[in-house]
Structure 1
Amino acid sequence: MSRLASIKLSTLDLAPIRDDGDAAQALHNSLALARHAESLGFERFWVAEHHNMDGIASSATSVLLGYLAAGTSRIRLGAGGVMLPNHAPLVIAEQFGTLATLYPGRIELGLGRAPGADQYTAHALRRSRDGSADDFPNDVEELQAYLGPRQEGQRVIAMPGAGTNVPIWLLGSSLFSARLAGIKGLPYAFASHFAPRYLHEAIRIYRNHFRPSEVLDKPYVMLGVPLLAADSDEQAQHLATSAYQRILALIRGQSLVQRKPVASMDGLWLPHERQAVGEFLGLAAIGGPQTVRQRLEQLLEQTEADELIFTCDLYDFADRLHAFDILAELQRG
Structure 2
Amino acid sequence: MSELNNNSKLKDIKYSILDLAPIIVGGSATDTFQNTLDLAKHTERWGYHRYWLAEHHNMPGIASSATSILIGQVAVATSTIRVGSGGIMLPNHSPLVIAEQFGTLESLFPGRIDLGLGRAPGTDQRTMHALRRDHGGNGHDFPQQLSELRSYFSPIDSSRSNSVKAIPGEGLDIPIWLLGSSGFSAQLAAQLGLPFAFASHFSPENTLPALELYYNEFQPSEVLSEPYTMVAVNVIAADTQKEANRLATSMQQQFLNLVRNTPTKLQPPVENMDEIWNDFEKKALQQQLGSSIIGDRTKVKEKLEDFIANTKVNEVMINAQIYDQKARLRSFEIVSSLWTDL
State TM-score, norm by structure 2: 0.96
Q: Give the counterpart of 1:293 among 301, 323, 334.
A: 301
1:5 Cα offset (Å): 2.3
1:132 Cα offset (Å): 2.1
One-letter amino acid of the structure 2 residue matched with residue 86 of structure 1: N
One-letter amino acid of the structure 2 residue matched with residue 257 of structure 1: K
Checking the alignment, whether the CA contact within 8 Å between 1:150 and 1:157 is kept in structure 2 is: no
Q: Give the counterpart of 2:327 among 314, 319, 324.
A: 319
Q: Which residue of 2 aligns with 1:136?
A: 142
The answer to whether 1:31 aligns with 2:50 is no
SS in structure 2 of the partner of residue 255 of structure 1:
coil
Q: Which residue of 2 aligns with 1:98?
A: 104
1:263 Cα offset (Å): 1.1
SS in structure 2 of the partner of residue 65 of structure 1:
helix
RMSD: 1.0
Q: Give the counterpart of 2:64 among 58, 75, 86.
A: 58
1:67 Cα offset (Å): 0.7
Q: Which residue of 1 aligns with 2:258?
A: 250
1:102 Cα offset (Å): 0.6
One-letter amino acid of the structure 2 residue matched with residue 294 of structure 1: E
1:129 Cα offset (Å): 6.0
The answer to whether 1:221 aligns with 2:248 is no
1:2 Cα offset (Å): 0.5
The answer to whether 1:157 aligns with 2:168 is no
Count how many residue pairs are aligned between Structure 1 and Structure 2. Answer: 333
| Identity between Structure 1 and Structure 2 (%) | 50
Q: Could you give the per-residue CA deviations for residues 181-235 of structure 1, whole angstroms, max 9, x where no partner exists? A: 0010000000001111111111111011111111111000101110111011111
State TM-score, norm by structure 1: 0.98
The answer to whether 1:279 aligns with 2:281 is no
Q: Could you give the per-residue CA deviations for residues 129-187 of structure 1, whole angstroms, max 9, x where no partner exists? A: 62121111111111111012133225110011101121100000000100000010000
Q: Which residue of 1 aligns with 2:28?
A: 22
One-letter amino acid of the structure 2 residue matched with residue 107 of structure 1: I
SS in structure 2 of the partner of residue 156 of structure 1:
coil
Q: Which residue of 2 aligns with 1:329?
A: 337
Partners of 1:267 and 1:197 in 2: CA distance: 27
One-letter amino acid of the structure 1 residue matched with residue 142 of structure 2: F
Checking the alignment, whether the CA contact within 8 Å between 2:59 and 2:123 is kept in structure 1 is: no
- Give unpaired runs (5+ residues) of structure 2: 1-6
Q: Which residue of 1 aligns with 2:126?
A: 120
Query: Relative to structure 1, is the Cα distance of residues 129 and 160 closer, same or farther in structure 2, using a 3 angstrom cutoff?
Result: farther
1:128 Cα offset (Å): 2.2
Partners of 2:325 and 2:37 in 1: CA distance: 12
Checking the alignment, whether the CA contact within 8 Å between 1:56 and 1:256 is kept in structure 2 is: no
Partners of 2:169 and 2:93 in 1: CA distance: 16
Partners of 1:132 and 1:146 in 2: CA distance: 22
Checking the alignment, whether the CA contact within 8 Å between 1:230 and 1:287 is kept in structure 2 is: yes
